[in-house]
């Protein structure tokens, strides 16, 4: 006989939440006063503030500042329990979720389920590119990239061969969306400012930094005007921006692309390649969609009902980066607001005094988008209002420090930003061999 699924003692309505990212964690926090028990399951032990991940990659802030412990965040919430394990199975009919961590396996029974497992990197069917061009989605990714980037500058100091030095000092970023632009801008600042005269055998500002994208402009969601501004700012920093460039191959030493208009094929040599070109929703989305009889789109996102439930399952909610609804973008605000919405509907269901009857449609409030390009330079788009440069940079700083979780993290981040703004130093430039090699060693 199969083991009875685990449920907390007390017999209250049990909400299982998969994912402690923006969507899942916000749902849990919003259910604090509700008459429910919550089990939050995440394969990472931390809540990752992804919008600042590139600052970990480029040595501005430390990993802990953008990744506070989920257990500590929830310490004051008596109705929530955190499980650090990976969800491998969901059974909507049996109302169970199975989570695994090494030799630990447990099945949890739920009354309501929230699936907020986010999205991973997509290589559009070319997963082998990942070996040489890692993405930047997790803390592991950010630390590996930091070791590769700073390690390349260090190795360039050791070689006497000019061609090898040029290869080591060539950085190729694929994908000119916000992540690619932010990372490119910061690698340029590392080369031109932080590391400028740090080496005896070469000047770091001789580094070549390429930003490639298949689209005809950088930052497509920001529109043509801001896209052009961002491109000009990057070019002033010495970045070689190549648009209409569809990547066809990535090897240990090079990236090959085909120009979408001229059909010309170009190979760029470079030791460090970074992939920020596409995302694909967690495979848990397809697992849920197949059982609920609904579609997933090409990016694996689930077609949800207007109230965020799936198919006939009025107790199963999908959030954030995993949903395909009204062309909503994969951004933090969508995740936060869908989390709050699911929590509100669940709290109303268990509250006998609630006047909420029936499913309320999710209504997204677009607070705008912003991307940082370099120190003192960002772009902001709020509805029809667009601005850039220093005011946009200040707006970016203010907003991001407000949304960071925890007073300590906000204070430390402000100090690190101050150090970076007023001196050339960055406080988190350490690299380790383990960070650089662990991913491929583990895959082996
Ligand atoms: C580098 C980067 C920069 C970004 N910059 C911005 C920005 O500037 N502005 C903006 O609005 N948005 C930005 N985004 C997008 C934003 O971070 C996402 O839209 C948002 O995090 C989505 O929230 P989510 O809750 O859906 O998923 P996530 O925040 O990704 O959380 C998913 C959680 O699920 C967990 N998980 C996944 N699979 C499993 C499993 N099988 N079992 C257990 N746990 C699992 C993961 O560990 C993770 O903690 C950025 C994203 C990245 C990667």
Write the CB contacts of 337 (distance below 8 Å, at least 6 apart in sequence).
Answer: 362, 364, 365
Nearest-atom number in ligand 1 for the CA of 183 is 1
β-bridge pairing 96-101 and 86-91: antiparallel
Q: 238 and 187 in one domain? A: yes
Written as six digits, the tokens of 161 are 């061969």
pLDDT above 90: percentage of residues in the chain? 86
- If you measure from the C-alpha of residue 305 to the centroid of ligand 1, how many angstroms do you get, rounded to a whole number? 21
In a domain, 364, yes or no: no
For the chain, what is the mean pLDDT? 94
50 CB near ligand 1 (under 6 Å): yes
Report pLDDT for 1: 47
For the segment 354-361, the average pLDDT, to the nearest whole number, is 79
Predicted confidence band of residue 2 (pLDDT cuts 50, 70, 90)? low
Higher pLDDT, 1 or 159: 159
Q: 188 and 333 in one domain? A: no
Number of H helices and E strands in the chain, helices first, is: 13, 23
Written as six digits, the tokens of 90 are 């969901």
Q: 335 and 391 in one domain? A: no
Tally of domains in the chain: 2
Residue 82 has pLDDT above 90, yes or no: yes
In a domain, 412, yes or no: yes
In whole angstroms, give the CA distance from residue 48 to residue 57: 14
In whole angstroms, give the CA distance from residue 131 to residue 136: 13
In whole angstroms, give the CA distance from residue 365 to residue 235: 34
In a domain, 235, yes or no: yes
pLDDT tens-digit readout, 35-50: 999 999 999 999 999 9
- If you measure from the C-alpha of residue 192 to the centroid of ligand 1, how many angstroms do you get, rounded to a whole number? 31
Domain housing 169: 128-277+375-443
User: What is the 8-class DSSP label of residue 78?
Assistant: T
Q: Which among 182, 189, 269, 352 is annotated as catalytic? A: 182
- If you measure from the C-alpha of residue 437 to the centroid of ligand 1, how many angstroms do you get, rounded to a whole number? 24
Instruction: Name the residue with the closest Cα to ligand 1, atom 6.
Output: 51
Q: Is 93 a catalytic residue?
A: no
CATH code assigned at 335: 3.50.50.60
pLDDT tens-digit readout, 141-153: 999 999 999 999 9
SS3 state of residue 305: coil
Q: 386 and 243 in one domain? A: yes
User: Sign of torsion, CA 386 387 391 396?
Assistant: positive
Residue showing tokens 């399952």:
313
Residue 97 has pLDDT above 70, yes or no: yes
In whole angstroms, give the CA distance from residue 13 to residue 349: 10
CATH code assigned at 193: 3.50.50.100
Q: 422 and 332 in one domain? A: no
> Of the ranges 34-38, 177-181, 361-365, 413-417, which one carries the lowest mean pLDDT score?
413-417
Count Cα atoms within 13 angstroms, Cβ side, for 306.
Answer: 5
Nearest-atom number in ligand 1 for the CA of 51 is 5
86 CB near ligand 1 (under 6 Å): yes
């Amino acid at each position: 006989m199969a083991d009875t699924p685990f449920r907390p003692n007390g017999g209250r309505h049990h909400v299982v939440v998969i994912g402690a990212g923006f969507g899942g964690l916000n749902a849990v926090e919003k259910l604090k006063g509700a008459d429910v028990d919550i089990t939050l399951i995440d394969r990472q032990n931390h809540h990752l503030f992804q919008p600042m991940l590139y600052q970990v990659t480029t040595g501005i802030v430390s990993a802990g500042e953008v990744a506070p412990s989920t257990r500590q965040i929830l310490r004051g919430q008596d109705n929530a329990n955190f499980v650090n394990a990976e969800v491998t199975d969901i059974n909507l009919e049996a109302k169970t979720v199975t989570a695994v961590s090494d030799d630990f396996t447990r099945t949890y029974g739920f009354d309501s389920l929230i699936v907020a497992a986010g999205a991973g990197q997509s290589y559009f069917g070319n997963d082998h590119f990942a070996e040489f061009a890692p993405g930047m989605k997790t803390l592991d990714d950010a630390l590996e990239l930091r070791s590769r980037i700073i390690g390349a500058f260090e190795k360039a100091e050791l070689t006497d061969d000019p061609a090898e030095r040029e290869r080591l000092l060539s950085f190729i970023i694929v994908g000119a969306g916000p992540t690619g632009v932010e990372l490119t801008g910061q690698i340029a600042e590392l080369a031109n400012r932080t590391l400028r005269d740090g080496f005896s055998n070469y000047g770091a500002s001789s580094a070549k930094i390429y930003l490639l994208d298949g689209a005809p402009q950088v930052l497509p969601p920001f529109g043509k005007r801001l896209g052009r501004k961002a491109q000009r700012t990057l070019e002033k920093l010495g970045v070689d921006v190549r648009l209409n460039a569809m990547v066809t191959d990535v090897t240990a030493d090079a990236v090959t692309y085909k120009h979408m208009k001229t059909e010309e094929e170009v190979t760029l040599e470079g030791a460090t390649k970074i992939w920020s070109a596409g995302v694909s929703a967690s495979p848990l989305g397809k697992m849920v969609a197949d059982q609920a009889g609904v579609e997933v789109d090409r990016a694996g996102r689930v077609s949800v009902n207007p109230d965020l439930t799936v198919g006939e399952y009025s107790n199963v909610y999908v959030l954030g980066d995993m949903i395909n609804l009204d062309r909503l973008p994969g951004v933090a605000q969508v995740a936060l607001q869908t989390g709050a919405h699911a929590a509100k509907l669940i709290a109303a269901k268990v509250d006998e005094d609630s006047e909420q009857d029936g499913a309320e449609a999710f209504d997204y409030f677009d607070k705008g988008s912003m991307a940082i390009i370099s120190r003192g330079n960002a772009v902001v788009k709020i509805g029809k209002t667009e601005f850039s440069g220093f005011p946009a940079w200040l707006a970016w700083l203010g907003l991001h420090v407000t949304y960071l979780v925890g007073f300590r993290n906000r204070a430390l981040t402000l100090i690190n930003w101050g150090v970076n703004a007023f001196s050339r130093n960055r406080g988190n430039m350490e690299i380790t061999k383990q960070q650089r090699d662990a991913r491929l060693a583990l895959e082996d």
